[in-house]
């Protein structure tokens, strides 16, 4: 269940309450008149089955609540209520399968911003990956994969492509490219300094590295893994399964490829530079393709669920 809190202009409170009462997926509706001060209005709260959230949010937006008031949706960790159980049963589909599109849009948009923390985490992850390539350490490769924050930008690109948001696609793509360029440059400079003081040397990349060779040797399996990881990543975001998302991070070699690229540039290993660039591109392309297809399937399936339950499809897309 989700908790709805809305600041509603006084002249629209009755209309909002009627809409909530008509929705079988809404229960525990409470109205506190005149308590809101900025913006002014009544406070209307209620508990909404996740499956019914899109319809409720879209209707509230059509009533202008987003512009003249406020709409807040929060996750409820525990609720003991027979009426809430009934609302969940009456709502179409299953909560774990339902995608709250506005929540997804806000999540991927916020987490893909080119913030200081985004760049720092990506740079740290890339440096870990560079060290992993030098000492042939799969443990450090996994650490770099988990630390990298790049999947949020990939998910934002997928969302923008599906819902025709060119601005989001452009912003997320730019942030992803700029983030990787900065991370690679930082790692390259560190590698150059390390080479100058004889901490690392070209021979470290010449020797066999069977445990980490996959990060600069892309093949068909790289693309297949990227497709699977992209699908799992989008599903984990839409279903709020954070544990599954960690598994996605460990599956793809975007950050390890970037780290190996930076080290190979510093040590002038041209073959590995080409291989790392190709690995990075294959992974990003595979995840974007799979993410777009996953969102399209989810949207189509949910429309079918609503249609079979005799409900309109209004509100199922942002």
Query: pTM higher than 0.95 for the full model?
Result: no
Ramachandran region, residue 104 (left: φ > 0; alpha: ψ -120 to 50; beta: rest): alpha
pLDDT at 249: 67
Q: Cα(168)–Cα(275) distance, rounded to whole angstroms?
A: 30
pLDDT at 312: 43
Q: Decide: 24 and 87 in contact? Cβ < 8 Å.
A: yes
Burial of 26 (0-12, 13-18, 19+ CB in 10 A): buried
For 117-154, the pLDDT digits (tens) are 999 999 999 999 999 999 999 999 989 988 888 988 99
pLDDT at 252: 75
Q: Decide: 250 and 142 in contact? Cβ < 8 Å.
A: yes
The per-residue DSSP string of 75-137 comes to E-S----HHHHHHHHHSSS-TTT---HHHHHHHHHHHTS--HHHHHHHHHHHHHHHHHHHHT-
Mention every residue, 6+ apart, whose C-beta is less than 8 A from residue 176: 112, 150, 153, 154, 157, 284
Which residue in the block uniquely carries the two structure tokens 């308590």? 35
pLDDT at 158: 94
Residue ranges for the chain with pLDDT beneath 70: 93-97, 240-251, 306, 308-318
Burial of 117 (0-12, 13-18, 19+ CB in 10 A): exposed
* Ramachandran angles phi, psi of 219, nearest 5°: -145, -170
pLDDT at 186: 96
Q: Decide: 276 and 258 in contact? Cβ < 8 Å.
A: yes
> Nearest CA to 76 among 37, 118, 27?
27
């Amino acid at each position: 269940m989700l908790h709805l809190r809305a600041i509603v202009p006084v002249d629209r409170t009755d209309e909002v309450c009627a809409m909530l009462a008509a929705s079988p997926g809404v229960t525990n509706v409470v109205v506190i008149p005149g308590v809101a001060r900025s913006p002014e209005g009544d406070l209307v709260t209620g508990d909404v089955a996740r499956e019914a959230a899109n319809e409720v949010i879209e209707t509230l937006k059509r009533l202008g609540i987003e512009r003249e008031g406020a709409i807040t949706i929060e996750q409820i960790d525990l609720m003991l209520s027979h009426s809430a159980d009934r609302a969940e049963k009456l709502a179409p589909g299953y909560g774990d399968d339902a995608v709250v599109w506005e929540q997804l849009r806000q999540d991927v948009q916020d987490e893909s911003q080119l913030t200081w923390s985004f760049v720092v985490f990506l740079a740290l992850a890339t440096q870990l990956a560079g060290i992993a390539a030098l000492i042939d350490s799969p443990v450090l490769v996994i650490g770099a994969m988990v630390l990298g924050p790049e999947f949020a930008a990939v998910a934002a690109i997928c969302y923008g492509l599906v819902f025709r948001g060119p601005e989001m696609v452009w912003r997320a793509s730019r942030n992803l490219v700029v983030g990787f360029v900065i991370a690679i440059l930082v790692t390259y400079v560190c590698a150059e300094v390390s080479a100058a003081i004889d901490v690392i040397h070209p021979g470290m990349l010449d020797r066999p590295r069977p445990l980490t060779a996959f990060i600069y040797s892309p093949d068909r399996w790289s693309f297949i893994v990227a497709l699977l990881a992209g699908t799992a990543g989008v599903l984990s975001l839409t279903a709020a399964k954070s544990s599954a998302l960690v598994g996605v991070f460990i599956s793809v070699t975007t950050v390890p490829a970037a780290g190996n690229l930076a080290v190979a540039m510093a040590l002038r290993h041209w073959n590995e530079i080409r291989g790392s660039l190709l690995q990075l591109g294959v992974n990003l392309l595979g995840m974007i393709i799979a993410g777009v297809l996953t969102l399209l399937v989810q949207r189509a399936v949910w429309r079918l669920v609503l249609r079979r339950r005799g409900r309109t499809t209004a509100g199922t897309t942002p």
